[in-house]
Structure 1
Amino acid sequence: MANRVKIGVLNLMHDKLDTQQRFARVLPDADLTFFYPRMHYQNRPVPPEVAKTSQPLDLNQIKEFDGFIITGAPLDHLDFDQVTYIEEVRCLLQLLDKYKLQQLYFCWGAMAALDYFYNIQKRILSKKIFGVFPHLIIEPHPLLNGLSKGFIAPHARYAEMDKTQIMQDPRLTINSVDDNGHLFMVSSLEKPEQNFIFSHIEYGRKGLKKEYEREIAAHPERHYKKPENYSLSNLLFQWKDTQKTFFNNWLTQVKKSKLVLLDK
Protein backbone atom coordinates (compact mmCIF):
# COMPACT_ATOMS: atom_id res chain seq x y z
CA MET A 1 0.00 0.00 0.00
CA ALA A 2 1.26 3.46 -0.92
CA ASN A 3 0.64 4.94 2.54
CA ARG A 4 2.69 2.31 4.36
CA VAL A 5 6.08 3.39 5.61
CA LYS A 6 9.32 1.42 5.55
CA ILE A 7 11.04 1.01 8.90
CA GLY A 8 14.45 -0.57 9.43
CA VAL A 9 15.20 -2.16 12.80
CA LEU A 10 18.67 -3.04 14.05
CA ASN A 11 17.76 -5.80 16.49
CA LEU A 12 20.39 -6.13 19.22
CA MET A 13 18.27 -7.78 21.88
CA HIS A 14 18.91 -11.20 23.44
CA ASP A 15 15.45 -12.42 22.55
CA LYS A 16 15.55 -11.51 18.88
CA LEU A 17 12.45 -13.39 17.78
CA ASP A 18 10.34 -12.01 20.64
CA THR A 19 11.67 -8.53 19.84
CA GLN A 20 10.65 -8.86 16.20
CA GLN A 21 7.17 -9.94 17.22
CA ARG A 22 6.89 -7.02 19.64
CA PHE A 23 7.76 -4.39 17.06
CA ALA A 24 5.55 -6.05 14.45
CA ARG A 25 2.69 -5.84 16.96
CA VAL A 26 3.20 -2.19 17.92
CA LEU A 27 3.81 -1.03 14.32
CA PRO A 28 1.26 -3.07 12.33
CA ASP A 29 0.88 -0.41 9.63
CA ALA A 30 4.59 -0.31 8.75
CA ASP A 31 6.74 -2.58 6.61
CA LEU A 32 9.54 -3.68 8.93
CA THR A 33 12.96 -4.98 7.91
CA PHE A 34 15.07 -6.47 10.69
CA PHE A 35 18.85 -6.41 10.64
CA TYR A 36 21.65 -7.89 12.72
CA PRO A 37 25.19 -6.45 12.94
CA ARG A 38 27.62 -8.31 10.70
CA MET A 39 30.51 -7.81 13.12
CA HIS A 40 28.64 -9.62 15.88
CA TYR A 41 29.01 -12.87 13.95
CA GLN A 42 32.35 -12.33 12.26
CA ASN A 43 33.99 -15.27 14.08
CA ARG A 44 31.01 -17.57 14.47
CA PRO A 45 28.04 -18.72 12.42
CA VAL A 46 24.83 -16.75 12.43
CA PRO A 47 22.19 -18.71 14.40
CA PRO A 48 19.65 -20.24 11.98
CA GLU A 49 16.68 -18.48 13.61
CA VAL A 50 18.45 -15.12 13.21
CA ALA A 51 19.49 -15.78 9.61
CA LYS A 52 15.95 -16.87 8.76
CA THR A 53 14.20 -13.77 10.05
CA SER A 54 16.82 -11.00 9.74
CA GLN A 55 19.32 -9.60 7.27
CA PRO A 56 22.94 -8.62 7.79
CA LEU A 57 23.08 -4.85 8.16
CA ASP A 58 23.51 -3.31 4.71
CA LEU A 59 24.44 0.35 5.00
CA ASN A 60 23.64 0.86 1.31
CA GLN A 61 19.96 0.21 2.08
CA ILE A 62 19.57 2.86 4.77
CA LYS A 63 18.47 5.69 2.49
CA GLU A 64 15.55 3.54 1.30
CA PHE A 65 13.80 3.68 4.69
CA ASP A 66 11.40 6.26 6.09
CA GLY A 67 12.41 5.59 9.68
CA PHE A 68 14.83 3.50 11.68
CA ILE A 69 14.92 1.89 15.12
CA ILE A 70 17.93 0.70 17.10
CA THR A 71 16.86 -1.55 19.95
CA GLY A 72 18.29 -2.08 23.37
CA ALA A 73 21.06 -4.61 24.02
CA PRO A 74 22.30 -6.43 27.15
CA LEU A 75 25.50 -4.39 27.15
CA ASP A 76 24.96 -1.75 29.83
CA HIS A 77 28.05 -2.76 31.82
CA LEU A 78 30.45 -2.56 28.86
CA ASP A 79 32.23 0.56 27.69
CA PHE A 80 31.04 1.37 24.20
CA ASP A 81 34.46 0.66 22.70
CA GLN A 82 34.33 -2.85 24.19
CA VAL A 83 31.30 -3.76 22.08
CA THR A 84 32.46 -5.86 19.13
CA TYR A 85 30.12 -4.20 16.65
CA ILE A 86 30.23 -0.61 17.93
CA GLU A 87 31.94 0.73 14.80
CA GLU A 88 29.20 -0.80 12.67
CA VAL A 89 26.59 0.91 14.85
CA ARG A 90 28.45 4.22 14.55
CA CYS A 91 28.55 3.93 10.76
CA LEU A 92 24.80 3.37 10.84
CA LEU A 93 24.29 6.40 13.10
CA GLN A 94 26.32 8.54 10.72
CA LEU A 95 24.06 7.57 7.82
CA LEU A 96 20.84 8.02 9.79
CA ASP A 97 22.01 11.53 10.57
CA LYS A 98 23.02 12.17 6.97
CA TYR A 99 19.67 11.09 5.52
CA LYS A 100 17.65 12.64 8.38
CA LEU A 101 15.43 9.61 8.77
CA GLN A 102 13.00 9.53 11.67
CA GLN A 103 15.03 7.80 14.37
CA LEU A 104 13.90 5.97 17.50
CA TYR A 105 16.59 4.70 19.84
CA PHE A 106 15.76 2.38 22.74
CA CYS A 107 17.70 1.81 25.97
CA TRP A 108 21.26 0.74 25.01
CA GLY A 109 20.60 2.01 21.49
CA ALA A 110 19.66 5.39 22.98
CA MET A 111 22.79 5.35 25.14
CA ALA A 112 25.06 4.59 22.19
CA ALA A 113 23.39 7.27 20.06
CA LEU A 114 23.63 9.98 22.76
CA ASP A 115 27.29 9.07 23.24
CA TYR A 116 28.00 9.24 19.50
CA PHE A 117 26.03 12.37 18.61
CA TYR A 118 26.42 14.44 21.79
CA ASN A 119 29.22 12.85 23.84
CA ILE A 120 26.90 12.24 26.79
CA GLN A 121 28.45 9.89 29.34
CA LYS A 122 26.91 6.62 30.49
CA ARG A 123 26.80 5.94 34.24
CA ILE A 124 26.47 2.46 35.72
CA LEU A 125 23.74 2.38 38.37
CA SER A 126 24.15 0.89 41.83
CA LYS A 127 21.07 -1.22 41.18
CA LYS A 128 18.97 -2.05 38.16
CA ILE A 129 15.99 0.11 37.26
CA PHE A 130 13.47 -2.69 36.88
CA GLY A 131 9.71 -2.50 36.97
CA VAL A 132 6.69 -0.46 36.00
CA PHE A 133 6.55 3.20 37.00
CA PRO A 134 4.43 6.36 36.61
CA HIS A 135 5.97 9.23 34.67
CA LEU A 136 6.05 13.00 34.48
CA ILE A 137 6.08 15.03 31.28
CA ILE A 138 8.64 17.80 31.73
CA GLU A 139 8.69 19.15 28.19
CA PRO A 140 5.83 18.42 25.75
CA HIS A 141 6.68 16.57 22.56
CA PRO A 142 4.60 15.20 19.65
CA LEU A 143 5.53 11.63 20.66
CA LEU A 144 3.96 12.26 24.07
CA ASN A 145 0.68 13.66 22.73
CA GLY A 146 -2.24 11.93 24.40
CA LEU A 147 -0.21 10.82 27.41
CA SER A 148 -1.13 12.42 30.71
CA LYS A 149 0.75 13.00 33.95
CA GLY A 150 1.35 9.66 35.62
CA PHE A 151 1.39 7.60 32.42
CA ILE A 152 2.74 4.09 32.98
CA ALA A 153 5.77 2.49 31.31
CA PRO A 154 8.24 -0.35 32.04
CA HIS A 155 11.99 0.03 32.63
CA ALA A 156 14.80 -2.54 32.68
CA ARG A 157 18.39 -1.30 32.64
CA TYR A 158 21.63 -1.13 34.59
CA ALA A 159 22.83 2.27 33.38
CA GLU A 160 21.68 5.86 32.96
CA MET A 161 22.97 8.68 30.82
CA ASP A 162 24.41 11.68 32.67
CA LYS A 163 21.38 13.91 33.26
CA THR A 164 23.50 16.92 34.21
CA GLN A 165 25.33 16.76 30.88
CA ILE A 166 22.04 16.45 29.02
CA MET A 167 20.55 19.46 30.82
CA GLN A 168 23.66 21.51 30.10
CA ASP A 169 23.60 20.71 26.38
CA PRO A 170 21.46 23.33 24.58
CA ARG A 171 20.85 20.87 21.74
CA LEU A 172 18.98 18.40 23.95
CA THR A 173 15.94 18.36 26.18
CA ILE A 174 14.63 15.88 28.73
CA ASN A 175 10.98 15.36 27.85
CA SER A 176 9.92 12.85 30.46
CA VAL A 177 11.18 11.02 33.57
CA ASP A 178 9.70 8.42 35.90
CA ASP A 179 8.63 9.28 39.43
CA ASN A 180 12.17 8.57 40.65
CA GLY A 181 13.70 10.96 38.14
CA HIS A 182 15.03 8.28 35.80
CA LEU A 183 15.01 9.12 32.11
CA PHE A 184 12.10 8.10 29.92
CA MET A 185 12.63 10.31 26.87
CA VAL A 186 15.26 12.72 25.59
CA SER A 187 14.97 14.51 22.25
CA SER A 188 17.13 16.70 20.06
CA LEU A 189 16.08 20.31 19.61
CA GLU A 190 18.20 20.92 16.52
CA LYS A 191 17.47 17.53 14.93
CA PRO A 192 13.84 16.71 15.73
CA GLU A 193 14.07 13.40 13.91
CA GLN A 194 16.26 12.05 16.76
CA ASN A 195 14.42 10.63 19.79
CA PHE A 196 15.95 8.62 22.63
CA ILE A 197 13.74 6.32 24.73
CA PHE A 198 14.92 4.65 27.93
CA SER A 199 11.86 2.53 28.58
CA HIS A 200 11.22 -0.90 27.07
CA ILE A 201 7.89 0.46 25.97
CA GLU A 202 7.77 -2.16 23.21
CA TYR A 203 7.49 -4.95 25.82
CA GLY A 204 4.24 -6.87 26.00
CA ARG A 205 2.59 -8.09 29.18
CA LYS A 206 5.16 -10.88 29.71
CA GLY A 207 8.27 -8.89 28.77
CA LEU A 208 9.57 -8.09 32.25
CA LYS A 209 8.82 -11.61 33.50
CA LYS A 210 10.77 -13.14 30.62
CA GLU A 211 13.72 -10.83 31.26
CA TYR A 212 13.76 -11.74 34.96
CA GLU A 213 13.59 -15.46 34.19
CA ARG A 214 16.30 -15.18 31.53
CA GLU A 215 18.72 -13.50 33.93
CA ILE A 216 18.09 -16.07 36.67
CA ALA A 217 18.57 -18.95 34.22
CA ALA A 218 21.83 -17.46 32.95
CA HIS A 219 23.28 -16.83 36.42
CA PRO A 220 21.40 -18.83 39.08
CA GLU A 221 24.18 -18.08 41.57
CA ARG A 222 23.37 -14.37 41.54
CA HIS A 223 20.58 -12.53 43.31
CA TYR A 224 18.31 -10.55 40.99
CA LYS A 225 15.72 -8.08 42.18
CA LYS A 226 12.18 -8.72 41.07
CA PRO A 227 10.49 -6.06 38.96
CA GLU A 228 8.76 -3.38 41.00
CA ASN A 229 5.02 -2.70 40.70
CA TYR A 230 4.68 -5.82 38.54
CA SER A 231 3.44 -9.13 39.88
CA LEU A 232 5.19 -12.16 38.39
CA SER A 233 2.18 -14.32 39.29
CA ASN A 234 -0.52 -11.97 38.03
CA LEU A 235 0.77 -10.27 34.90
CA LEU A 236 -0.95 -7.00 34.07
CA PHE A 237 -0.33 -5.02 30.89
CA GLN A 238 -0.43 -1.67 32.70
CA TRP A 239 1.35 0.26 29.93
CA LYS A 240 -0.83 -0.99 27.06
CA ASP A 241 -2.44 2.41 26.43
CA THR A 242 0.92 4.18 26.73
CA GLN A 243 2.43 1.81 24.20
CA LYS A 244 -0.37 2.22 21.68
CA THR A 245 -0.42 6.02 21.96
CA PHE A 246 3.36 6.40 21.76
CA PHE A 247 3.91 4.19 18.72
CA ASN A 248 0.90 5.68 16.91
CA ASN A 249 2.43 9.11 17.51
CA TRP A 250 5.79 8.01 16.13
CA LEU A 251 4.22 6.41 13.08
CA THR A 252 2.37 9.67 12.44
CA GLN A 253 5.70 11.52 12.59
CA VAL A 254 7.26 9.10 10.12
CA LYS A 255 4.36 9.49 7.70
CA LYS A 256 4.49 13.29 7.92
CA SER A 257 8.23 13.26 7.31
CA LYS A 258 7.77 11.00 4.29
CA LEU A 259 5.20 13.37 2.78
CA VAL A 260 7.52 16.34 3.28
CA LEU A 261 10.34 14.52 1.50
CA LEU A 262 8.03 13.49 -1.35
CA ASP A 263 6.98 17.12 -1.84
CA LYS A 264 10.58 18.29 -2.23
Structure 2
Amino acid sequence: MPITLDKRLAAVDRLRQENIFVMESERAMTQNIRPLKILVVNLMPKKMNTEVHILRHLANTPLQLEVEFLYMATHVSKNTSNEYLQNYYRTFDDIKDKRYDGMIITGAPVEKLPFEKVDYWQELSDLMEWSKSHVFSSLHLCWGAQAGLYYHYGVDKQPLKAKLSGIYEQDLVTPSLLTRGFDDSYKCPHSRYTTVYPDQLAKTGLDILAAGKEVGVAIAATPNMRQIFSFGHFEYTRDTLAEEYFRDQKAGIDPQLPVNYFPDDDPKKKPKLTWSLAASTFFSNWINYAVYQETPYDLADLR
Protein backbone atom coordinates (compact mmCIF):
# COMPACT_ATOMS: atom_id res chain seq x y z
CA MET A 1 0.00 0.00 0.00
CA PRO A 2 1.17 3.57 -0.51
CA ILE A 3 2.42 5.64 2.37
CA THR A 4 0.40 8.84 2.78
CA LEU A 5 2.53 11.78 3.99
CA ASP A 6 2.55 15.53 4.21
CA LYS A 7 4.32 16.61 1.02
CA ARG A 8 6.49 19.02 3.03
CA LEU A 9 8.14 16.19 4.97
CA ALA A 10 11.88 15.99 4.22
CA ALA A 11 11.76 12.25 3.62
CA VAL A 12 9.32 12.47 0.70
CA ASP A 13 11.86 13.18 -2.06
CA ARG A 14 14.25 10.49 -0.80
CA LEU A 15 11.51 7.90 -0.62
CA ARG A 16 10.41 8.68 -4.16
CA GLN A 17 13.99 8.31 -5.39
CA GLU A 18 13.91 4.81 -3.89
CA ASN A 19 10.63 4.02 -5.70
CA ILE A 20 8.68 3.93 -2.44
CA PHE A 21 5.12 4.87 -3.33
CA VAL A 22 4.41 8.06 -1.39
CA MET A 23 1.01 9.72 -1.73
CA GLU A 24 0.52 13.33 -0.72
CA SER A 25 -2.24 13.79 1.83
CA GLU A 26 -4.18 16.07 -0.54
CA ARG A 27 -4.31 13.32 -3.17
CA ALA A 28 -5.29 10.69 -0.62
CA MET A 29 -8.32 12.80 0.37
CA THR A 30 -9.67 12.70 -3.19
CA GLN A 31 -8.44 9.30 -4.35
CA ASN A 32 -10.80 6.96 -6.12
CA ILE A 33 -10.18 3.39 -4.98
CA ARG A 34 -11.56 0.23 -6.51
CA PRO A 35 -10.70 -3.49 -6.30
CA LEU A 36 -8.03 -4.72 -8.71
CA LYS A 37 -9.43 -7.19 -11.22
CA ILE A 38 -7.20 -10.25 -11.68
CA LEU A 39 -7.78 -13.09 -14.16
CA VAL A 40 -6.08 -16.44 -13.52
CA VAL A 41 -5.85 -18.73 -16.57
CA ASN A 42 -5.49 -22.10 -14.86
CA LEU A 43 -3.94 -24.64 -17.23
CA MET A 44 -2.83 -27.13 -14.58
CA PRO A 45 -4.57 -30.53 -14.32
CA LYS A 46 -5.33 -30.35 -10.58
CA LYS A 47 -6.98 -26.98 -10.72
CA MET A 48 -8.06 -26.76 -7.10
CA ASN A 49 -4.47 -27.28 -5.90
CA THR A 50 -3.24 -24.54 -8.22
CA GLU A 51 -6.01 -22.22 -7.04
CA VAL A 52 -4.72 -22.53 -3.48
CA HIS A 53 -1.09 -22.03 -4.57
CA ILE A 54 -1.88 -18.84 -6.48
CA LEU A 55 -4.43 -17.36 -4.10
CA ARG A 56 -2.14 -17.86 -1.11
CA HIS A 57 0.29 -15.39 -2.66
CA LEU A 58 -2.28 -13.01 -4.10
CA ALA A 59 -3.85 -12.74 -0.65
CA ASN A 60 -0.54 -11.56 0.80
CA THR A 61 -1.42 -7.93 0.13
CA PRO A 62 -3.73 -5.45 1.87
CA LEU A 63 -5.16 -4.46 -1.50
CA GLN A 64 -8.63 -5.64 -2.43
CA LEU A 65 -8.55 -8.04 -5.37
CA GLU A 66 -11.36 -9.49 -7.44
CA VAL A 67 -10.06 -12.77 -8.83
CA GLU A 68 -11.68 -14.80 -11.59
CA PHE A 69 -10.51 -18.16 -12.91
CA LEU A 70 -10.60 -19.18 -16.56
CA TYR A 71 -10.24 -22.60 -18.19
CA MET A 72 -9.72 -23.65 -21.78
CA ALA A 73 -13.11 -24.58 -23.27
CA THR A 74 -11.42 -26.48 -26.10
CA HIS A 75 -9.75 -28.90 -23.66
CA VAL A 76 -11.42 -31.74 -21.78
CA SER A 77 -10.10 -31.86 -18.23
CA LYS A 78 -9.37 -35.32 -16.83
CA ASN A 79 -8.72 -34.23 -13.25
CA THR A 80 -11.38 -31.57 -12.64
CA SER A 81 -15.09 -32.17 -13.17
CA ASN A 82 -16.94 -30.27 -15.85
CA GLU A 83 -19.55 -29.33 -13.25
CA TYR A 84 -16.89 -27.66 -11.09
CA LEU A 85 -15.50 -25.74 -14.05
CA GLN A 86 -18.91 -24.55 -15.19
CA ASN A 87 -19.84 -23.41 -11.69
CA TYR A 88 -16.64 -21.63 -10.67
CA TYR A 89 -14.69 -20.84 -13.83
CA ARG A 90 -15.13 -18.63 -16.86
CA THR A 91 -14.37 -19.28 -20.51
CA PHE A 92 -12.77 -16.87 -22.95
CA ASP A 93 -16.18 -16.20 -24.50
CA ASP A 94 -17.48 -15.19 -21.07
CA ILE A 95 -14.81 -12.55 -20.45
CA LYS A 96 -13.64 -11.32 -23.85
CA ASP A 97 -15.56 -8.05 -23.51
CA LYS A 98 -14.10 -7.32 -20.05
CA ARG A 99 -10.82 -5.71 -19.00
CA TYR A 100 -8.46 -6.67 -16.20
CA ASP A 101 -5.69 -5.03 -14.23
CA GLY A 102 -3.66 -8.23 -14.18
CA MET A 103 -3.64 -11.74 -15.60
CA ILE A 104 -1.73 -14.87 -14.60
CA ILE A 105 -1.23 -17.74 -17.07
CA THR A 106 -0.11 -20.85 -15.19
CA GLY A 107 2.11 -23.68 -16.29
CA ALA A 108 0.87 -26.89 -17.89
CA PRO A 109 2.36 -30.41 -18.21
CA VAL A 110 2.60 -30.23 -22.01
CA GLU A 111 6.11 -28.88 -22.55
CA LYS A 112 7.22 -31.92 -24.59
CA LEU A 113 4.63 -31.08 -27.26
CA PRO A 114 5.19 -28.46 -29.97
CA PHE A 115 2.99 -25.50 -29.10
CA GLU A 116 0.78 -25.99 -32.15
CA LYS A 117 0.10 -29.60 -31.08
CA VAL A 118 -1.43 -28.55 -27.75
CA ASP A 119 -5.17 -29.03 -28.24
CA TYR A 120 -6.08 -25.60 -26.85
CA TRP A 121 -3.25 -23.66 -28.51
CA GLN A 122 -5.52 -21.62 -30.78
CA GLU A 123 -7.76 -20.64 -27.88
CA LEU A 124 -4.77 -19.67 -25.76
CA SER A 125 -3.30 -17.71 -28.68
CA ASP A 126 -6.57 -15.80 -29.05
CA LEU A 127 -6.49 -15.06 -25.32
CA MET A 128 -2.91 -13.78 -25.45
CA GLU A 129 -3.72 -11.56 -28.42
CA TRP A 130 -6.78 -10.23 -26.60
CA SER A 131 -4.64 -9.51 -23.51
CA LYS A 132 -2.64 -6.88 -25.40
CA SER A 133 -5.60 -4.51 -25.27
CA HIS A 134 -7.63 -5.89 -22.35
CA VAL A 135 -5.06 -6.63 -19.62
CA PHE A 136 -2.64 -4.16 -18.07
CA SER A 137 0.04 -6.58 -16.81
CA SER A 138 0.30 -10.28 -17.71
CA LEU A 139 2.33 -12.68 -15.58
CA HIS A 140 3.25 -15.95 -17.31
CA LEU A 141 4.45 -18.92 -15.21
CA CYS A 142 6.63 -21.88 -16.29
CA TRP A 143 5.09 -23.39 -19.48
CA GLY A 144 2.83 -20.34 -19.59
CA ALA A 145 6.03 -18.25 -19.80
CA GLN A 146 7.37 -20.40 -22.63
CA ALA A 147 4.03 -20.18 -24.45
CA GLY A 148 3.93 -16.41 -24.00
CA LEU A 149 7.48 -16.00 -25.32
CA TYR A 150 6.67 -18.14 -28.33
CA TYR A 151 3.43 -16.33 -29.15
CA HIS A 152 4.56 -12.76 -28.54
CA TYR A 153 8.20 -13.00 -29.66
CA GLY A 154 8.61 -16.21 -31.67
CA VAL A 155 11.12 -17.59 -29.13
CA ASP A 156 10.84 -21.39 -28.94
CA LYS A 157 11.60 -23.58 -25.95
CA GLN A 158 14.66 -25.84 -26.05
CA PRO A 159 14.65 -29.50 -24.89
CA LEU A 160 16.78 -30.51 -21.91
CA LYS A 161 18.67 -33.80 -21.69
CA ALA A 162 16.83 -34.64 -18.48
CA LYS A 163 13.96 -33.16 -16.51
CA LEU A 164 14.86 -30.07 -14.51
CA SER A 165 13.39 -30.87 -11.12
CA GLY A 166 14.38 -29.42 -7.79
CA ILE A 167 15.33 -26.23 -5.99
CA TYR A 168 17.82 -24.15 -7.96
CA GLU A 169 19.74 -21.00 -7.25
CA GLN A 170 19.30 -18.01 -9.54
CA ASP A 171 21.20 -14.72 -9.69
CA LEU A 172 19.72 -11.28 -10.26
CA VAL A 173 20.88 -9.86 -13.60
CA THR A 174 19.00 -6.60 -14.24
CA PRO A 175 17.61 -4.38 -11.44
CA SER A 176 13.81 -4.30 -11.43
CA LEU A 177 10.96 -3.41 -9.11
CA LEU A 178 9.76 -6.99 -9.62
CA THR A 179 12.76 -8.26 -7.67
CA ARG A 180 12.89 -5.44 -5.15
CA GLY A 181 13.76 -6.93 -1.76
CA PHE A 182 15.43 -10.03 -3.25
CA ASP A 183 18.92 -11.09 -2.24
CA ASP A 184 21.50 -11.14 -5.05
CA SER A 185 20.89 -14.89 -5.30
CA TYR A 186 17.66 -16.68 -4.44
CA LYS A 187 16.15 -20.15 -4.67
CA CYS A 188 13.10 -21.27 -6.60
CA PRO A 189 11.51 -24.61 -7.56
CA HIS A 190 11.67 -25.71 -11.20
CA SER A 191 9.94 -28.69 -12.79
CA ARG A 192 10.19 -28.95 -16.59
CA TYR A 193 11.73 -30.71 -19.58
CA THR A 194 12.50 -27.60 -21.61
CA THR A 195 14.18 -24.24 -21.15
CA VAL A 196 14.97 -20.87 -22.72
CA TYR A 197 18.55 -19.59 -22.89
CA PRO A 198 19.57 -15.94 -22.43
CA ASP A 199 20.94 -15.52 -25.97
CA GLN A 200 17.51 -16.37 -27.37
CA LEU A 201 16.14 -13.12 -25.92
CA ALA A 202 18.84 -10.86 -27.39
CA LYS A 203 16.55 -9.26 -29.99
CA THR A 204 13.27 -9.26 -28.08
CA GLY A 205 13.75 -6.06 -26.07
CA LEU A 206 13.01 -8.00 -22.89
CA ASP A 207 15.07 -7.47 -19.76
CA ILE A 208 16.50 -10.64 -18.23
CA LEU A 209 15.92 -10.04 -14.53
CA ALA A 210 17.32 -13.32 -13.23
CA ALA A 211 19.08 -16.39 -14.61
CA GLY A 212 20.88 -19.50 -13.41
CA LYS A 213 23.43 -21.94 -14.75
CA GLU A 214 21.05 -24.90 -14.58
CA VAL A 215 17.75 -23.13 -15.25
CA GLY A 216 18.67 -20.69 -18.02
CA VAL A 217 16.44 -17.61 -17.99
CA ALA A 218 14.58 -17.47 -14.69
CA ILE A 219 12.62 -14.20 -15.00
CA ALA A 220 12.28 -11.86 -17.99
CA ALA A 221 10.04 -8.84 -18.51
CA THR A 222 9.34 -5.87 -20.70
CA PRO A 223 10.83 -2.66 -19.24
CA ASN A 224 7.31 -1.41 -18.39
CA MET A 225 6.35 -4.75 -16.75
CA ARG A 226 3.32 -5.19 -19.00
CA GLN A 227 4.58 -8.68 -19.95
CA ILE A 228 6.40 -10.81 -17.35
CA PHE A 229 7.77 -14.32 -17.81
CA SER A 230 8.77 -16.42 -14.77
CA PHE A 231 10.07 -19.89 -15.63
CA GLY A 232 10.13 -21.31 -12.12
CA HIS A 233 7.35 -22.22 -9.74
CA PHE A 234 7.39 -19.62 -6.99
CA GLU A 235 3.84 -20.72 -6.17
CA TYR A 236 4.82 -24.31 -5.27
CA THR A 237 4.31 -25.41 -1.68
CA ARG A 238 6.81 -27.37 0.39
CA ASP A 239 5.38 -30.70 -0.81
CA THR A 240 4.56 -30.07 -4.48
CA LEU A 241 7.81 -31.45 -5.93
CA ALA A 242 7.51 -34.48 -3.63
CA GLU A 243 3.99 -35.12 -4.88
CA GLU A 244 5.22 -34.93 -8.48
CA TYR A 245 8.13 -37.25 -7.71
CA PHE A 246 5.98 -39.92 -6.05
CA ARG A 247 3.34 -39.59 -8.78
CA ASP A 248 5.91 -40.25 -11.50
CA GLN A 249 7.43 -43.06 -9.49
CA LYS A 250 4.01 -44.70 -9.15
CA ALA A 251 3.45 -44.30 -12.90
CA GLY A 252 6.67 -46.22 -13.60
CA ILE A 253 8.52 -43.25 -15.09
CA ASP A 254 11.53 -43.80 -12.77
CA PRO A 255 12.04 -40.08 -12.08
CA GLN A 256 15.30 -38.57 -10.93
CA LEU A 257 15.31 -37.30 -7.38
CA PRO A 258 14.59 -33.52 -7.23
CA VAL A 259 17.91 -31.80 -6.55
CA ASN A 260 18.54 -29.73 -3.41
CA TYR A 261 15.13 -30.74 -2.08
CA PHE A 262 14.95 -33.77 0.24
CA PRO A 263 17.37 -33.53 3.20
CA ASP A 264 20.28 -35.92 2.55
CA ASP A 265 18.48 -36.85 -0.69
CA ASP A 266 16.18 -39.04 1.36
CA PRO A 267 12.58 -39.02 0.04
CA LYS A 268 11.37 -40.13 3.46
CA LYS A 269 12.48 -36.85 5.01
CA LYS A 270 10.43 -33.67 5.05
CA PRO A 271 11.59 -31.23 2.32
CA LYS A 272 12.96 -27.88 3.44
CA LEU A 273 11.08 -24.74 2.42
CA THR A 274 13.75 -22.33 1.12
CA TRP A 275 11.93 -20.11 -1.39
CA SER A 276 8.91 -18.78 0.54
CA LEU A 277 10.28 -15.26 1.11
CA ALA A 278 11.33 -14.80 -2.52
CA ALA A 279 7.94 -16.11 -3.67
CA SER A 280 5.83 -13.79 -1.50
CA THR A 281 8.07 -10.86 -2.42
CA PHE A 282 7.76 -11.56 -6.14
CA PHE A 283 3.95 -11.78 -6.19
CA SER A 284 3.60 -8.75 -3.89
CA ASN A 285 5.92 -6.75 -6.13
CA TRP A 286 3.91 -7.72 -9.22
CA ILE A 287 0.64 -6.62 -7.62
CA ASN A 288 2.11 -3.42 -6.20
CA TYR A 289 4.56 -2.14 -8.82
CA ALA A 290 3.35 -3.67 -12.10
CA VAL A 291 -0.41 -3.50 -11.46
CA TYR A 292 -1.60 -1.25 -8.63
CA GLN A 293 0.69 1.72 -9.19
CA GLU A 294 0.36 1.73 -12.98
CA THR A 295 -3.07 0.51 -14.08
CA PRO A 296 -5.64 3.19 -15.01
CA TYR A 297 -8.50 3.73 -12.59
CA ASP A 298 -10.99 3.35 -15.44
CA LEU A 299 -10.07 0.15 -17.29
CA ALA A 300 -11.86 1.52 -20.35
CA ASP A 301 -8.76 3.74 -20.70
CA LEU A 302 -6.48 0.68 -20.92
CA ARG A 303 -4.21 0.78 -23.95
The two structures share one fold, judged by TM-score above 0.5: yes
- Could you say if the C-alpha distance between residues 97 and 212 of structure 1 is closer, same or farther in structure 2, counting changes exceeding 3 Å? same
8 A contact 1:7–1:33 mirrored in 2: yes
8 A contact 2:99–2:134 mirrored in 1: no
Verify: 1:99 aligned to 2:130, yes or no. Answer: no
Which residue is equivalent to 1:215?
Answer: 248
- Could you say if the C-alpha distance between residues 111 and 59 of structure 1 is closer, same or farther in structure 2, counting changes exceeding 3 Å? farther
Q: How does 1:28-67 map to 2 (within 5 A)?
A: 28=59, 29-41=64-76, 47-58=82-93, 60-61=95-96, 63-67=98-102
8 A contact 1:103–1:194 mirrored in 2: yes
Q: What residue identity is the alignment partner of 1:121?
A: D
TM-score, normalised via structure 2 length: 0.78
Q: How does 1:88-127 map to 2 (within 5 A)?
A: 88-127=123-162
Which residue is equivalent to 1:84?
Answer: 119
- Could you say if the C-alpha distance between residues 248 and 62 of structure 1 is closer, same or farther in structure 2, counting changes exceeding 3 Å? farther
Which residue is equivalent to 1:172?
Answer: 206
The CA distance in 1 between the partners of 2:97 and 2:281, in whole Å, is: 27
Picking from 21, 26, 37, the partner of 2:52 is 21
8 A contact 1:120–1:162 mirrored in 2: no
- Could you say if the C-alpha distance between residues 251 and 192 of structure 1 is closer, same or farther in structure 2, counting changes exceeding 3 Å? closer
The CA distance in 2 between the partners of 1:56 and 1:116, in whole Å, is: 20
Which residue is equivalent to 2:230?
Answer: 197
Deviations 1:201-240 (A, max 9, x none): 11111111122222233x22x2101111111421222111
Picking from 257, 266, 286, the partner of 1:250 is 286
In structure 1, the gaps of 5 or more residues are none
- Could you say if the C-alpha distance between residues 179 and 30 of structure 1 is closer, same or farther in structure 2, counting changes exceeding 3 Å? farther
RMSD: 2.3
8 A contact 2:196–2:216 mirrored in 1: no
The CA distance in 2 between the partners of 1:75 and 1:129, in whole Å, is: 14
Verify: 1:4 aligned to 2:39, yes or no. Answer: no
- Displacement of 1:14 after TM fit? 1.8
- Could you say if the C-alpha distance between residues 3 and 214 of structure 1 is closer, same or farther in structure 2, counting changes exceeding 3 Å? farther
Large movers: runs of 4+ above 4 Å:
259-264
- Displacement of 1:48 after TM fit? 3.4
Verify: 1:228 aligned to 2:259, yes or no. Answer: yes
Three-state SS of the structure 2 residue aligned to 1:32 is strand
8 A contact 2:168–2:188 mirrored in 1: yes
Q: What residue identity is the alignment partner of 2:138?
A: Q
Q: What residue identity is the alignment partner of 1:184?
A: A
- Displacement of 1:257 after TM fit? 2.2
- Displacement of 1:24 after TM fit? 1.1
TM-score, normalised via structure 1 length: 0.89
